[in-house]
Structure 1
Amino acid sequence: MPQLDLATLHEAVAAEIPDRECLVWRDRRLTWREVTERSRRLAHLLREHGLGRRDEAVRPWESPHDHLALYLHNGPEYLEGLIGAHKARVAPFNVNYRYVDDELAQLFGDARPAAILFHARFAEAIGRVVQRLDHTPLLLQVADDSGAELLPDALDYEKALAASSAEPLDVRTSPDDLHILYTGGTTGMPKGVLWRIGDLMVGPLALTRRDGTPITDLDEAVARAVESRHRVLVGPPMMHGAGTWSALGGWCGGACVVFPDQAGGLDAADLLATAERERATRMPLVGDAFARPILAELERRPYDLGALRTLLNSAAAISPDVRARLLEHLPHVRIVDVLGTSESGFQVSRDGSSARAFAPAPGTAVLSADRTRRLAPGEDELGWLAKGGGAIPLGYLGDPAKTAATFLTVDGERVVVAGDRARLLPGGAVEVLGREATTINTGGEKVFAEEVEAVLRDLPGVADALVVGRPSGRWGTEIVAVLRPAAAPGDAELRAGCAARLARYKIPKAFLRTDRGLRLPNGKADYAAARALLDADRI
């Protein structure tokens, strides 16, 4: 099936609406023409340094491109880096800005960046880590408010762009060009997921019609973009899929992408003030880590959010009570939950405060426990959530074993199985139990941590909760809840609240309390932090 590529579509949209706002951050308002010119300048710069696509035929775990590392907070340069890389046929990849030296060295050793685009506040770390690499990447330093000086071997980003050409590139881009998304590493070492940009666009970036069929005609895609008046406010960090997909998906649909003023973390007051000022129509959330602070700010003072139509929640759950209270403040807004992974894109969705099951997206299936066949609706078997339909990644960068284990062929179709357990209900809806990697086997019974966490987070006085296992002489492994309390519920009260909604074997045997955050910057569960608190409690 023919597909479009990101660079071609962005250029075509810009040609039709050159003077419309494309990107807003703080006092910077860039039109589609300006973003196009700046991304072309970056692309020319990368090509002048010999970067691009080198090969054609490669195996699913290999990349034929040079790679650009994006080691940045949210801001215009992040999106310029993504678009500029694709225009140069360079594969961009995300870098977690919370990583320390050893983690950065491991990531760069795996990804082998030919160029690194980074904020000045990260210059010292880059200077140390680059010395540990077996190659010397092009360094592009973006000035920020840190006051950090330019690294001796780095180019000042703005000066380098100014010296580069803004003319269109004589480069034929392709839907086969790669986009690399590194996983968050919540259940293991980060892995580079290799997406064909054509698949990414009709998958996670939602370049589709209302009936879910992909848009592959350039004129149709441009016409849809020209009609759009959406303004997408991106609060989640671009270093994770939720942020990148929201922003690039907005651009594919002709939306203006807006960033909050505060780039280094969630500031609910700043986020809502930006939404009010910029008349945002859509805003992504990442579970309670975003929803609770936003709710608290809405309860502190009113905001004029009449333009807002959709809150798109992914990567983590919103507690039912929090959802209901959000809708009291924003009755005109739809809260849509989507569930997926870096490897699959969005697999299932739901729209409604009381719904527990999800509607499957096109290509979604539930496989049997042995992963050899698709389950039929109503088969009472705990299976695996899978995604097929063509718009899935090729594999994991440099890892043929994990590629073979995750990307399977079932009934003649290639599917991805990222690790979520699920049931296919009689009507065709999907009940998602949670990640196999966070399943706890206690006394011979399997308990999905996310099911227990959802109950705990909905109890009065609990701001957040994670569930982990620890060794037990009686149970083999026992369930322990690590809580961030909003009030001071006692253990007996917590157990009683769990007992009303959970089988006895699922109720935590112990409750630990902490004032520390239990979430990664992308809002996902930080199980490593929870286990560290558990280990400290045992000392």
Structure 2
Amino acid sequence: MQIGDLIRRAGRQYGAAPALVDGDRVLSFAEFDEQTDRLGTALLASGLEPGDRVAVVLPNGIDGVVVYYALAKAGLVRVPLNTRETAHEHAYKIDDSQARALVFAGDPPARTEIMITAAELPAMIATAPPGPCDERRDQDAPLRLAYTGGTTGKPKAVVLTTRSELAEVANFLVDLLPNLHPGSVMLHAAPITHGSGAFFLPHLVKGAPNVIVATFSPAAFLDAALRHRATSTFMVPTMIAMLLEEPATAAAVAAGDLALERLCYGGAPIATTVLQRGIDVLGPVFAQLYGQAEAPLAITCLQPWEHTPERLTSAGKPYTFVEVQVRDTAGRVLGTDEVGEILTRGPHTMSRYWRRPEATAETIEPDGWLHTGDIGRWDAEGYLHLLDRRHDVIISGGFNVYPREVEDALLSHPAVAQAAVVGIPDEKWGERVAAAVVVRSPADAAEIVAFCEGRLAGFKRPRAVEIWPELPTSPVGKSLRREVRDRMAGIPMTAATTATP
């Protein structure tokens, strides 16, 4: 089966019903099928050949989705680029992927052999001959290249295939969204280039419309959610916090106007205080997704009914068709409460890193097990708990300190809105714990340090705290601890300080 087969079948089954909604613009299932056929044909007529990479830099909207799935039908390889990234970052990925074409809005970040502007897309679709565009690619051939966040080095391109895409859809339909039907509505408020885009196909195949918000704000989200009676959405934690701070959110819930059944979240750690407040305001609608670019959004999930107070720090249980292990450095499979690296295996995982055979060999074992680089443990009930990234673990005086645990303690302070914990070189201890925080109300750094006493063991407590106006984050909302570490490397380790980077 090909991705185009799913689109074609949805076009036949659901016809004139709305498939995509973007403000006042609506595409039916049949129109979406036809437009992706025509654009796929036009792309091949432009000189592209199946297997060529095509970089896409378009804002959230219908055009981007049509381009993505026209590429799928044409046998071309999608390289989606987040519009929040810089032109320099885009240029690196365009060069690294060896893209032959670029589809873009605004100023092009780089030159490729074939350049297509967003303004040209309507004419390409209108003038292309009708009929199916149906380039059949091998199930294990590249379908899209997804770049890693680059939080520990240069971003790497993850090769995802038709097989992995279909497996991801199956994971969603079996475990995460088993009750989808034509009356369901997916609201895309986060970039479709990343997590939110994974929800498009599961809704499409079940006849449910996908509504797109161009740019997230609590007001824009609520307006679209109420107007379209959205039942599903995906957010990163910062978006959830912003939504909860909007007074109209609680008012909409109290009035019974919000129809959300699933608010899926992931992409970055979430403070338990924010999560509990979300449950209090929005009800039992939260579903946590743990995954990474190499295993998109599908390693474990924590279902809404599993969001009990004692499990809010858990990442949930493995999806039905996904295997998960925790191993020590010698490769021994660990049991309950033993800390080690998380590995996963399943048909949805990447086939390799693009043009990086050594990194591929380090990450994927011959039998398919993928090293996530994350540190975690199982609890007695079979729930996985994430402790941190392997490369972010702080070793102080011979003890392992997991930054996420320290960040959770800092975030329990009523004034702390965001926190990033890093290890700073120390002659005596090897590394000492330091933190940069963003506050929502006036607070003293020394007070925040003192707050951690009794909440964390001595070797885990931050020896320095800086109050910053904002933390550096990636375009998908992940804290860039590497940048925090670089900025904080010169601060004194004997006292709390207040600083503006």
So what's the TM-score if we normalise by structure 2? 0.89
The structure 1 residue matched to 2:16, chosen from 19, 22, 38, is: 19
With over 3 angstroms needed to count, the CA separation of the structure-2 counterparts of 1:530 and 1:393, relative to structure 1, is same
- In the TM superposition, residue 301 of structure 1 has moved relative to its aligned partner by 6.2
Q: Distance in 2 between matches of 1:529 and 1:11?
A: 46
Give the Å deviation of 1:76: 0.8
Identical pairs, percent = 26
Q: Give the 5 Å matches for 1:443-482.
A: 443-482=397-436
Structure 1 CA distance, aligned partners of 2:84 and 2:289?
26
Moved more, 27-36 or 526-535: 526-535
Alpha carbons 1:499, 1:507 under 8 Å: kept = yes
- Select which of 201, 206, 218 maps to 2:166: 201
Partner of 2:192: 238
Question: What does residue 32 of structure 2 align with?
Answer: 35
Provide the C-alpha distance between the structure 1 equivalents of 2:128 and 2:453, rounded to a whole number of angstroms: 65
1:42-191 residue pairs with structure 2 within 5 A?
42-53=39-50, 65-119=51-105, 121=106, 123=107, 125-126=108-109, 129-130=110-111, 136-143=112-119, 156-177=120-141, 178-191=143-156
Q: CA deviation at 1:211?
A: 10
Q: How does 1:79-478 map to 2 (within 5 A)?
A: 79-119=65-105, 121=106, 123=107, 125-126=108-109, 129-130=110-111, 136-143=112-119, 156-177=120-141, 178-203=143-168, 206=171, 208-209=173-174, 227-240=181-194, 242-260=195-213, 262-263=214-215, 266-287=216-237, 289-298=238-247, 302-303=251-252, 305-331=257-283, 333-345=284-296, 346-350=298-302, 351-354=306-309, 355=311, 356-357=313-314, 358-362=316-320, 363-370=322-329, 372-375=331-334, 377-378=335-336, 381-409=338-366, 413-478=367-432
SS of residue in 2 equivalent to 1:284:
strand
Aligned 8 A contact 2:437 2:465 in 1? yes
Change (3 A) 1:334 1:506: same
Counterpart amino acid of residue 259 in structure 1: I
Q: Is the 8 A contact 1:275 1:305 kept in 2?
A: no
CA contact (8 A) 2:327 2:343 kept: no
Q: How far did residue 324 of structure 1 move?
A: 2.4
CA deviations 1:207-244 (Å, max 9, x no partner) are: 5435999xxxxxxxxxx97x43211111111232x122
State the Cα distance separating 1:160 from its structure 2 match: 2.1
- Structure 1 residues 476-528: Cα deviation after superposition (integer angstroms, max 9, x where no partner): 22211111100122234323432333222111111111112443331211324
**CA spacing shift, 1:165–1:13, aligned 2, 3 Å:** same
Q: Distance in 1 between matches of 2:222 and 2:44?
A: 40
Q: CA deviation at 1:399?
A: 0.4
Deviations 1:270-307 (A, max 9, x none): 111111111100111111x1111000114676225432
Q: Which has the higher contact order (CA 8 A, sep 6+)?
A: 1
Shift in alpha-carbon separation, 1:212–1:463, aligned structure 2, 3 A:
closer
Deviation at 1:206, TM superposition (A): 3.0
Task: Write out per-residue CA displacement over residues 17-51 of structure 1, whole angstroms, 9 at most, x where no aligned residue.
Answer: 01111111111111111111211121001111232
The one-letter amino acid of 2:228's match is E
Q: 1:501 aligns with which of 426, 430, 455?
A: 455
Uncovered stretches (5+) of structure 2, i.e. residues with no partner: 493-500
Alpha-carbon distance in structure 1 between the residues aligned to 2:397 and 2:205: 50
TM-score (norm 1): 0.83
Residue 8 of structure 2 aligns with an amino acid whose one-letter code is E
- What is the CA–CA distance in structure 1 between the aligned matches of 2:330 and 2:212, rounded to whole Å? 41
CA distance in 2, matches of 1:456, 1:472: 22
Label 1:212 to 1:13 Cα distance change in 2 as closer, same or farther (>3 A): closer
Deviations 1:335-369 (A, max 9, x none): 11111111123212223042033222243322421
Q: Distance in 2 between matches of 1:13 and 1:174?
A: 22
Which whole-Å CA distance do the structure 1 matches of 2:485 and 2:201 have between them?
A: 35
Q: Which amino acid is the alignment partner of residue 256 of structure 1?
A: P
- What amino acid does structure 2 have at the position aligned with 1:338? L
Counterpart contact for 1:465–1:518, Cα < 8 Å? no
Matched-pair contact (CA < 8 Å) for 1:74–1:237: yes
Distance 1:166 1:451 in 2: 57
Rate the CA distance shift 1:390–1:100 in 2: closer, same or farther, 3 A: closer
Taking the aligned partners of 1:171 and 1:196, their CA distance within structure 2 comes to 14
**1:29 is paired with a residue of what secondary structure?**
strand
* CA displacement 1:358-415 (0-9 Å, x = unmatched): 222243322421363433x32x532211111333211100000000000113xxx311
TM-superposition CA deviations, 1:301-338 (whole Å, max 9, x none): 6225432101101112332222222223222x421111
Alignment partner of 2:202: what SS?
helix
Quickly say closer, same or farther: Cα 1:493–1:275, change in 2 above 3 A.
same
